[in-house]
């Protein structure tokens, strides 16, 4: 519930009153929201370095108007050093992400689907890379509630074909 309150406050304070995201529910460590033409499941790390100037998160979003669904987006706690790999680990499975600056995402639709399948049955997700100063970065997330939050977001914004 702490995660839900934090996310609701952080998104609510960052947008004008008329454009505030609609909470779809809190599910374990995850929450789901509808915000204009998109819906998403989101959580914050329970462990990792303190971010400087932004809030790190892991999310899975759906944009029905664009015909896109189930896209992973990671906001890292530190900017990634150019050329450094960004590795996402879920209970022993490793996926390499595409990245730029402080953001990372699955490199293609197949990887998105594989990652989300692993998230549905996983316990913990971690994202590892090197920051711009070469220091190791490891943001850790609990996956309890991720599957339900992803389903709530997908139901609230069904994907058009």
pLDDT in tens, 73-130: 999 999 999 999 999 999 999 999 999 999 999 999 999 999 999 999 999 999 999 9
pLDDT attached to residue 7: 47
Q: Is 121 exposed, middle or buried (0-12, 13-18, 19+ CB in 10 A)?
A: exposed
Categorize the per-residue pLDDT at 161 as very low, low, confident or very high, splitting at 50, 70 and 90: low
Q: What percent of the chain has pLDDT over 70?
A: 83
Alpha-helix residue ranges (DSSP H) falling in the chain: 2-13, 109-121, 146-156
- Given the structure tokens 């139901």, which residue do they identify? 155
21 and 9 Cβ atoms separated by less than 8 Å: no
77: nearest Cα among 31, 125, 129, 122: 129
Residue ranges of domains in the chain: 2-156
Is-contact 39 32, C-beta < 8 A? yes
Average pLDDT taken over every residue of the chain? 86
CATH number for the region 2-156 comes to 2.60.40.1880
Please choose, from the candidates 129, 145, 11, 151, the residue with its C-alpha nearest in 3D space to the C-alpha of residue 74.
129
pLDDT digits (tens, 9 = 90+) for 23-51: 999 999 999 999 988 999 999 999 766 76
């Amino acid at each position: 519930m702490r995660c839900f309150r934090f996310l609701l406050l952080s998104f609510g304070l960052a947008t004008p009153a008329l454009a505030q995201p609609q909470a779809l529910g809190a599910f374990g460590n995850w929450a789901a929201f509808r915000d204009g033409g998109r819906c998403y499941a989101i959580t914050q790390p329970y462990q990792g370095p303190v971010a400087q100037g932004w809030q790190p998160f892991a999310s899975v979003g759906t944009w029905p108007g664009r015909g896109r669904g189930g896209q992973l987006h990671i906001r890292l706690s530190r900017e990634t050093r150019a050329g450094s790999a960004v590795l996402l680990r879920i209970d022993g499975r490793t996926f390499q992400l595409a990245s730029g600056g402080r953001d990372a995402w699955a490199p293609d639709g197949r990887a998105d689907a594989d990652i989300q399948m692993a998230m549905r049955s996983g316990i913990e997700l971690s994202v590892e890379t090197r920051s711009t100063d070469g220091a190791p970065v490891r943001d850790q997330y609990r996956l309890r509630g991720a599957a339900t939050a992803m389903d709530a977001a997908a139901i609230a914004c069904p994907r058009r074909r």
